[in-house]
């Protein structure tokens, strides 16, 4: 039995898909155009930046700030809560959903990577990929250069030290550092 779903439907369901599908390619082009406008906008034109982010993202919370440059795959898969601060250079590979809570602080150069690729060479050569969602809880602080890998949830009030690579879920109210990130203390 063949799978009659579109590649976009497969992607949104978290199933393997091929990214060069024409519909996905058009959605990616739209995101690239909007991020280009955001990244080249006058940094003092807060109204234009908010309008671009509201158009690009699934949600952009009240009193939040995102400093360009910013890159994403689709934009509509990324949501940012209220009063969140995102410093320069965020990469949100939002093939699956990226949910960033309220009152979050994200340091410069952070990468939120939902995309996965097959380990087996045949499917990888055939350009199949998939994704797993990322959830960043309320009042989380991600230090500069943090990488969050596919499928990770970081609990509320947690701090992740600069340069850490988060490969598994972190509970609420802890400090985690390293590669891979490990909990070093409870808050």
- Residues marked active site are found at 117
Distance set, CA 156 to CA 31, 34, 86 (Å): 29, 30, 17
DSSP 134-159: EEE-TT-EE-TT-EE-TT-EE-TT-E
**10 bridge partner residues:** none
Tokens 């203390």 correspond to: 185
Q: How far apart are CA 32 and CA 46, in angstroms?
A: 20
State the greatest distance between any 2 C-alpha atoms of the chain, in Å, as a whole number: 55
Is the C-alpha dihedral spanning 163, 150, 81, 182 positive or negative? negative
- The answer to whether the beta carbons of residues 132 and 14 sit under 8 Å apart is yes
């Amino acid at each position: 039995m063949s799978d009659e779903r579109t590649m976009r439907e497969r992607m949104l369901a978290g199933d393997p898909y091929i990214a060069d599908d024409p519909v996905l390619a058009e959605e990616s082009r739209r995101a690239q155009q909007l991020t280009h406008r955001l990244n080249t906008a006058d940094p003092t034109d807060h109204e234009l930046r908010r309008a671009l982010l509201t158009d690009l993202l699934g949600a952009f919370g009240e009193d939040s700030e995102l400093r360009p440059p910013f890159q994403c795959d689709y934009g509509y898969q990324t949501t940012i809560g209220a009063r969140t601060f995102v410093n320069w250079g965020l990469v949100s590979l939002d093939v699956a959903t990226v949910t960033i809570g309220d009152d979050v602080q994200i340091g410069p150069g952070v990468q939120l990577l939902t995309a996965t690729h097959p380990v087996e060479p045949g499917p990888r050569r055939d350009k199949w990929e998939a994704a797993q969602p990322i959830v960043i809880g309320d009042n989380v602080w991600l230090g500069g250069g943090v990488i969050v890998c596919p499928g990770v949830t970081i609990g509320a009030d947690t701090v992740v030290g600069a340069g850490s690579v988060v490969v598994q879920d972190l509970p609420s109210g802890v400090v985690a550092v390293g590669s891979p990130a490990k909990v070093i203390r409870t808050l």
